[in-house]
Amino acid sequence: MKRAGCLVLSFAAVACAVTAGVFSLSPGGGDRSDDAPARAGSSATAVPPGLTAPGKKDLAQQLVASAENSTLDWRGQYGYVEDIGDGQGYTAGIIGFCTGTHDLLTLVERYTADHPDNGLARYLPALRAVDGTDSHEGLDPGLPAAWRAEAKVAAFREAQDEERDRVYFDPAVRLARRDGLGTLGQFIYYDAMVMHGPGNGPSSFHGLRARAMKEADTPAEGGAEEAYLDIFLDVRRTLMTSQKAHRDTSRIDTAQRRFLHDGNLSLRTPLTWKVYGETYRVP
């Protein structure tokens, strides 16, 4: 998946060069009580809501949007579309669906199956042809305008929500619970799956998880939650610094790692964090 559509700079450089803006928005639903992570062998009815609680899920979208779109207004991103120069073609929508990574194609295919007369359907042949590349062939000049227009349709916004949950949010939370992780751990998995994709390769989410599990036991395996998450973030940070498009690791260094070192495993609000030198607050 993508990083934010902004210049790739080291966090230190941004911090020195930019006077940070401050953003503040309150999450829908508010904070929930602390949650104990699900452990192996616990009954399904005993699993706390964690990141799936309405307030926490909205908070998760704000955290992702701060890193992906430099805003907390994630609902304002349904019509977002641009090529950010990361080799994945056009990046669009609330979670950064990409023309080069199959998920944008799948979204439009599934949406078209239910709404065949939508304004993006005519681009399906071109989307299939450029899938896996950064090519715009057959997409320019009309795709960006068509995407923005379709994003005004409630059904397409709902389709984006559903595809985000089906491909990224639900699998990340499900796997995090299996590993015995609470709300923060579930978010850490989710953010990694959004950026790196849900694949099994060494630079995808499951490759990151496999490397982390070689170095530390998950809580479900009897390990300490904080220690395992620290290792997972180390592994992810190492990968990001090796990729030109992901070298700014502030979404880890001054956001997720900060929450972890504060012992905020349930993502209690208020929260303050920085991404790309900008400060965000959720009261």
Q: What per-residue string of b and e applies to 111-121 under the rule 16 or more CB within 10 Å gives b?
A: bbeebeebbbb
Active-site annotation holder among 68, 83, 131, 179: 68
68 is catalytic: yes
Residues near 184 by beta carbon (within 8 Å), at least 6 away in sequence:
229, 256, 259, 260, 264, 265, 266, 267
Phi then psi for residue 8, to 5 deg, are: -85, 105
Residues 184 and 192: their CA atoms lie apart, in Å, by 12
278-282 β-sheet, strand order: 22-24, 278-282, 271-275
H or E element in which residue 65 lies: helix 54-68
Residues 32 and 268: their CA atoms lie apart, in Å, by 7
Residues 91 and 80: their CA atoms lie apart, in Å, by 8
82 is catalytic: no
Active-site annotation holder among 31, 58, 83, 86: 86
Contact 149, 224 (CB under 8 A): no
Query: Which residue type does 194 have?
Result: V
Q: What per-residue string of b and e applies to 150-170 under the rule 16 or more CB within 10 Å gives b?
A: bbeeeebbebbbebbbebbbe
Contact 275, 67 (CB under 8 A): yes
Contact 20, 11 (CB under 8 A): no
Phi then psi for residue 97, to 5 deg, are: -65, 140
Residues with catalytic roles: 68, 86
